[in-house]
Every structure is written in C-alpha cells, then in structure tokens.
Structure 1
Amino acid sequence: MSALGTRPHPDLPRLHFTEVATAPVVIEHMDAGSVGLAILDGEAAPTGGLGLAKQLRDELDTCPPILVLTGRPDDRWLADWSRADAAVPHPIDPLRLREAVTVLLGAG
C-alpha cells in the first residue's frame, strides 16, 4: 500500500484499500462487487493468492482485474495459470507495482 500511495497516477481517482487476511473474506468482498482491483499475495498461507485468483476467475461472472504478488520472477507461469491480469515478483519494485496497477485501472 505504501508503494502505491493513494494516487499512483494523476488520471486515477484516489485509491481506497481494503486489507483482508483470509480467502473467505476476499471472496465475500469480491462477491459484493466492491472491489475495483484485487492485489493478492501469491505466497499467502494457507490459501495462496495464485489459487485464489484462479478460483475467482472460475467462479465469478464479473471479476475485476487481479494482480498477484509472486515469490520470484520465475513464478510468472503460475500467474499465467491462475489467469491473473498481472504479476509483480518479490522483492516488490514500487515503480513496477505502480505501473502494473495504473495499467490495470485503465490510466496507463
């Protein structure tokens, strides 16, 4: 969140972050339609963001863009498998994250 700030691009409105800790709560928010962009931690346990991204793509009729944070650049194939719209590897490069979010939100 600190890498993005509240306004990663002048053409975007201010961002509002909702931070959750479990997959059921992510699914609840996504089902409610209150998420404009999901950033999921691919290394989370017990439910990783990569598997969760795939589940959301498979189960939601309308799914917002999904960005996954992967453990390393070589995990890009897992992000492709999960059908995430973008992936940013650890260690997080704030400029790369900002660019990916800007593109996914339609300002890039």
Structure 2
Amino acid sequence: MSAAENSAAPATVLLYSHRPEVRDAVRTAVGRRPAADVGPITWLECSSGDEVVAAVDAGGIDLCVLDGEAQPTGGLALTRQLEVEVADRPAICVLIARQPDRWLAHWSRAEATLAFPVDPLVAPEVVADLLRSHARRAAVGP
C-alpha cells in the first residue's frame, strides 16, 4: 500500500433508495474504495427521506447518493430540501433513469448525476471526484 493510500481519510457515503436492489447495485459498482487516493468508504443506507434528513442533520456524511426515482420522496426533492435547509450540506450525486432528467438534478443543486443502471466504470470515478472535492472544501473551511 502506498503512502497516499495510507493517508486517505475514510469517507461516509449515505446511499438512499427505497429499493434494496438499487442500493446493492450502487454499492457493487462503486466498491469500498473507488480510487487509490480516496479513503475507504463506509456506506450508510437509508430507505426513507426522513432517514436521509436525520442522518445529514446529525453530521459526519461526506457524500450523499440519492435515487431520483425513490418513492415516496425522490432524491431530486431531497437534494433541493437539503440545499435549502442545511448550511454546510455534503455533496450530492443523484441517480437518474433518463439523461434528459439531468436538468432536474441541476435545478435541485446536485453536484453530479449517475445514470441508472449504474456503470461500474463510471460510478467509482464520479464518487471519487466528489469525495476529493469534499476533502478539499473541508481542508479550506466553509
């Protein structure tokens, strides 16, 4: 293991979908360490919007991956809610079923999107980039 791998801080990624198979697909595609310079991931799975809001309010979340198709509260609505209600919210990536929905993710203020079904070649890179950005922001301060 290199020095960069040893020094990379662990990250907590909140993963939200009401469907367990969606959560499994994301976890499998991203893995426990999406890049050598990104710390190992601890996944915090949520199956309701209330769980997401409570977890983000409690703090310690580095990134949220939210299912835009989740029911009854979709990831796009949750992204917008967190943007308005949480001063220093974590970065958010929204799972979208259709590429034309990217504009909705932009409107909700998500930093990134992943198409579902999740591509295991793209997902780790997107997650790693968001975690790197989060680490840089945390080092600089709000």
Same fold, judged at TM 0.5 (above): yes
**C-alpha separation between the residues in 2 aligned to 1:27 and 1:54?**
12
**In the alignment, what sits opposite 2:17?**
none
Query: Contact 1:53 / 1:66 at 8 angstroms: preserved in 2?
Result: yes
Secondary structure, counterpart of 2:43 in structure 1: coil
In structure 1, the residue matched to 2:70 is 44
Q: Give how far 1:98 is off.
A: 1.1
Q: What is the number of residues matched between the two proteins?
A: 107
1:66 correspondence with 2:92: yes
- Asked whether 1:32 is paired with 2:58, we answer yes
The code of the aligned residue for 2:131 comes to L
Fraction of identical pairs, as percent: 45
Q: Which residues of 2 match residues 1-108 of structure 1 at below 5 A?
A: 1-106=27-132
CA RMSD, aligned part only?
A: 1.0
The structure with the largest alpha-carbon Rg is 2
- Describe the SS at the equivalent of 1:24: helix
- Letter of the 1:95 counterpart: L
Per the TM alignment, residue 94 of structure 1 is displaced from its structure 2 partner at its CA by 1.4
Greater helix share, structure number: 2
Q: TM-score, normalised by structure 1?
A: 0.95
